[in-house]
Amino acid sequence: MRFSIGCAAALALCATFSGWAGIARADNDKGPEQVVIQAALDAEKVAKPAYLPHQAHQWLECDGCHHGKGPGGKMADYVPGQKIEKCETCHNSKAGMPQMIATLKRASHLLCMECHLKQDKELARCGVCHTKK
Ligand code: HEC
Ligand code: HEC
Ligand code: HEC
Ligand code: HEC
């Protein structure tokens, strides 16, 4: 919704965006089967890559995790086929995000951990995501 408002305000940009996204990815591209998430900009001394079985999470809609940045730095809803950037592109300490999502670690813990905790406490153990797979 918020994204469409942005489009109306910037039609030219929007047309460019859609055309380019259509070339970049087919709508049925579900992304990689597995993903390793690793901070590059705000990495802590002891790196802790996190493992995400990506396709096994797709009972959740893409927009359950993916989104963009709209006018005024607000969250823009996911649009099928959009270019998917690394979370850290926006969630890094230089990007001026609210504290609780100002780094990759914080944004990830908020998204991943909240849901895992709700499902089953066992799923929130550090080793569930921070494992070498
Ligand atoms: C549900 C998944 C999940 C769980 C459970 C989880 N994390 Fe994470 N964590 C992540 C993700 C995703 C990142 C982002 C990857 C990164 O920052 O490199 C991250 C990042 C981190 C980082 C920064 C790593 C770096 O390289 O800069 C630390 C430190 C960390 N987590 C510690 C913990 C600890 C301690 C626990 C247990 C209390 C825990 N995490 C549980 C998903 C999880
Ligand atoms: C549980 C959350 C979650 C869901 C649901 C999800 N993704 Fe992802 N996806 C991620 C994360 C996290 C990454 C890795 C981002 C990073 O490295 O910063 C990723 C990466 C990707 C990438 C790779 C981007 C690259 O750098 O190459 C694509 C493409 C992608 N997802 C598409 C999708 C599509 C399409 C859907 C819906 C069918 C979807 N994802 C559903 C969390 C999710
Ligand atoms: C193109 C930029 C961009 C990318 C890429 C991005 N985000 Fe965000 N994200 C935002 C913006 C903008 C907000 C809203 C910030 C605000 O409310 O001030 C946000 C908000 C969030 C929130 C808070 C949600 C809420 O309901 O308050 C979480 C959690 C989050 N992002 C996690 C992620 C994760 C995980 C990824 C990678 C899968 C990701 N983001 C990729 C820009 C981005
Ligand atoms: C909306 C809920 C939700 C979100 C968001 C979510 N998960 Fe999960 N995740 C689950 C559920 C439920 C399971 C257990 C069922 C399954 O294995 O599919 C799971 C399983 C996993 C597993 C496998 C555990 C095992 O022992 O096989 C890993 C690893 C994982 N998630 C990492 C992540 C990471 C990293 C993120 C954030 C990028 C994330 N999850 C976001 C709900 C979620």
Give the distance between the most distant pair of CA atoms in the chain: 48
pLDDT of 13 > 80? The answer is no
C-alpha triplet 119, 56, 26: angle, nearest 5°: 130
Q: Which atom of ligand 3 is nearest to the CA of 74?
A: 12
CA 9 to ligand 2 centroid distance, Å = 28
Single out the residue of 48, 47, 49, 51 nearest to residue 33, CA to CA. Answer: 51
| Nearest ligand, measured from the Cα of 96 | 3
Q: How many CB atoms lie within 10 A of CB 67?
A: 19
**Residues 61-82 pLDDT 10s:** 999 999 999 999 999 999 999 9
Tell me the pLDDT tens digit for each residue of 92-127: 999 999 999 999 999 999 999 999 999 999 999 999
